[in-house]
Amino acid sequence: MPTDYEATRQQIRDLAASHGVAMTAEPTTREGDDQWNKEAGHYACAFTAESAKPRTVTYSVGPGILAGWADENKRLPIFATLRGQIPDDWAMALRGNKSLYHTAIREQIYKIARDKFRPDIADVLSSLVSDASGTDQPFTDWCADYGYSDDSRKAEAMYRECQETMFWLRAAFREDMEKLQDMSGRL
């Protein structure tokens, strides 16, 4: 029997299908050199809908999600999968430094997971609904609610992008937008 979480995800998938909303996702890169950006999975999610223009968004999942997915799907038994994927001379050099060796293995795990994992339409739509929430208020109020300066061009660009997302969601889901928001709020 599916959990409430899984049942809600399925309801979102069904709602999307009933509105002709479909998504494809391909790995992409994201600027930034911090560790999270290197290990996280970034996906270009291209949406099509019967009643809205095509839209592509970048969706990111953290390293914990990728590692959890790998364990859950038994697709990456860590050492067995990586045996043979790290060049022998590199592996031998790294074995002298366990910290470097484990970092190299972890990076390989994330690389494999990023290539095989694909985000689910329910999760991406739920994230878009969350991103777009609050855009019905003026920019200054939005900034106050989300902790941004109302004197920031970056904040204004984010606000505009969130508004565009809301416009797209409303066009795609029309009269069922509230239903999508309610379901997304349960995830």
**pTM of the prediction?**
0.75
Give 76-130 pLDDT, tens digit per residue. Answer: 444 444 444 544 444 444 455 555 555 666 666 666 666 777 888 999 999 999 9
Find the angle CA(27)-CA(38)-CA(92) to the nearest 5 degrees: 110
Answer whether 167's CB lies under 8 Å from 55's CB.
no
User: Going edge to edge, which strands form the sheet with 52-61?
Assistant: 22-28, 41-49, 52-61
**Which position has the higher pLDDT, 42 or 144?**
144
Distances (CA, A) of 17 to 28, 47, 101, 124, 155: 25, 12, 45, 14, 33
Tokens of 47: 């949406």
pLDDT of residue 81: 44
3-state secondary structure of 55: strand
Q: What value does the mean pLDDT of the chain take?
A: 79
Domain-wise residue ranges, the chain: 4-185
Give 126-161 pLDDT, tens digit per residue. Answer: 999 998 988 999 999 999 999 999 999 999 999 999
Q: Which residues pair with 48 in a beta bridge?
A: 22
